[in-house]
A and B are shown apart, each in its own frame.
Chain A
């Protein structure tokens, strides 16, 4: 395992951040070129309306995927910059959203819906101070733990909130196969649990299950 200030993490962060900037430049070129195509067809529409419709649909797909690419590259850029400071202020709402985005593919492969609950990022009452890389790893491991115990068509909602007077992140799960207590027990027996406990311990945090429903909580302070 790398040290918190490991040169390897720093190296990966630096190179990845630089590549996300390049990726943004690629998206900027695609965006302007697609915009120009749209401008031109507005001035001079294609003579065949069927072709025009297909053209418009294809252009709409390009624009949608551009937006998706921009959102992903923005999140990825922020992820890449996370090793910049070994200790920084972390907004838990922002953390939840970012880790949900970077974990979305793992959930999608299991046909599980992963979402971050809406909230106010300007609200600093849920800010903590700690290592941004490890904070992300903690939430990611918690998501992995839930994914490993949920069947397809389940949902995980990730919420930043106060938990028994402490700042934390809660993962509420649906469609569990057993009663909530049984599900929580299965999380503790999951292969990811030990790794999750190790990661949260580095953050001086802890992990717990809920006694009110099928939920996992990472409590930061």
Chain B
């Protein structure tokens, strides 16, 4: 079975790099972008099954990145990351097509299970 390939987008570099290493240990190929622009550039050249996207970032916000991903019609599932008290943005993101949202700090097992659910959901939509 191919490794799950995901893109983690968060401006907190230490958070996202530690998370990527933990996912890598668990057999998930995790790539990292530390802002929205970088994420959009990476999506142009590589295919990711899941994008984990922080909602609040300097520059292009997570929701704007989500909007641009939708416009590109890229076949990928998006899971949003929100802080506590930011459920409004999470729900708004789901209305815009995100698969789900999770609150930081994360539970890694919950994240992985959500990633697999997201991939299954994308497959089901594809038919």
Contact = CB atoms under 8 A, between A and B. Distances in A.
Interface residues of A, number: 23
A31 B14 contact: no
Q: Interface range on chain B: under 10, 10 to 19, 20 to 34, or 35 or more?
A: 10 to 19
Interface string A1-35: 00000000000000001001100110111011101
Contacts of A17: 85
Nearest to B106: A28
Given A24-B105, A39-B25, A33 B84 contact: no
Contacts of A39: 21-22, 25
B4 interface: no
B107 to A, nearest CB: 9
Interface of A: 17, 20-21, 24-25, 27-29, 31-33, 35-36, 39-40, 43, 66, 70, 73-74, 77-78, 81
25 contacts: A17-B85, A21-B56, A21-B84, A24-B83, A27-B105, A28-B12, A28-B15, A28-B106, A29-B12, A29-B18, A31-B106, A32-B19, A32-B22, A32-B105, A32-B108, A33-B14, A35-B22, A36-B18, A36-B21, A39-B21, A39-B25, A43-B25, A70-B105, A77-B84, A78-B85
